[in-house]
Amino acid sequence: RSLSCHPNSPRSNKVPQPTLWLSCGCDSRPSKILLKITSTAVVGTGLGVLIFWLIFRPHWIDVHVTGVSLTEFNFIKNNTLNYNLVVNMTVHNPDGRVGIYYDLINASAYYEDQQFDTRTLTRFYQGHKNTSSLNLVFRGQHVSLGAEEPSKFNKEPTNGLYSIDVKLYLRIRLKLGRTKTSTLKPKISCDLKVPLSSGDGSFAGAFEITECDWDI
């Protein structure tokens, strides 16, 4: 017996139903990336602070003024100081693991708490157990100081030494292995007693090597 399909007979194949897709209209990936970046920044900053306070403490790096040359230091009219000062310093890193990036070094000279000159030194990297030498040259005039400075200046030469402060304002980063910290901004203060050199090259007093202090 042959079978035939009648036009009105039911079909055995099912009609595919449309698939319903639900979407919130947002992508969580950007928020995850932002969270990861924030976490990395927090960890990096925390690591920098941790290394700084546990390792990089005052006097952890030795800073000394090893020599000075003061060939001019006198007041001229209108309370203006005429000066020619050279300061030689050493910066010693005794650590065997931590290196230091000196990204910015601003050196300022003060007399009677009045800044009379500032210089910017060349940035550099200091490796492990390394000593670096800094040469600061302050030379110029036309620097107006307070009215009391000339009278104090006239009293100081009795002992042949002048009270001059040199301060370093730093921006540094520490390197431990492949890790670098964020920027740190310590200050170094050197309180000096500087003898004035006479025309024949002799000095009115003796300069002593001076250890500098960290001001964190």
Whether residue 146 has pLDDT greater than 70 = no
User: What does pLDDT average to over the chain?
Assistant: 77
Query: Is 36 a member of any domain?
Result: no
Structural domain total, the chain: 1
Domain that holds residue 137: 58-215
Q: Where are the alpha helices (DSSP H) in the chain?
A: 29-54, 149-155
* pLDDT score recorded for residue 196: 87
pLDDT score of 171:
95
Q: Is residue 29 part of a domain?
A: no
Give mean pLDDT, residues 80-105: 92
Tell me, yes or no, whether 32 lies in a domain: no
Q: Where are the beta strands (DSSP E) in 77-182?
A: 80-93, 98-111, 114-121, 124-126, 130-144, 161-176, 179-180
Q: Render pLDDT for 8-24 as a digit per residue (tens, 0 to 9).
A: 545 555 555 555 444 45
Q: Dig out the tokens for 192 from the structure.
A: 């000096």
How much is the average pLDDT of 161-188? 91
**What one-character DSSP code corresponds to residue 151?**
H
Is the pLDDT at 168 greater than 90, yes or no?
Answer: yes
Indicate if the pLDDT at residue 44 is higher than 50.
yes
pLDDT at 135: 97
Q: Residue 48 falls within a domain, yes or no?
A: no
pTM beyond 0.75? no
Does residue 11 form part of some domain? no
- Answer yes or no: is 4 within a domain: no
Task: Give the CATH number for residue 201.
Answer: 2.60.40
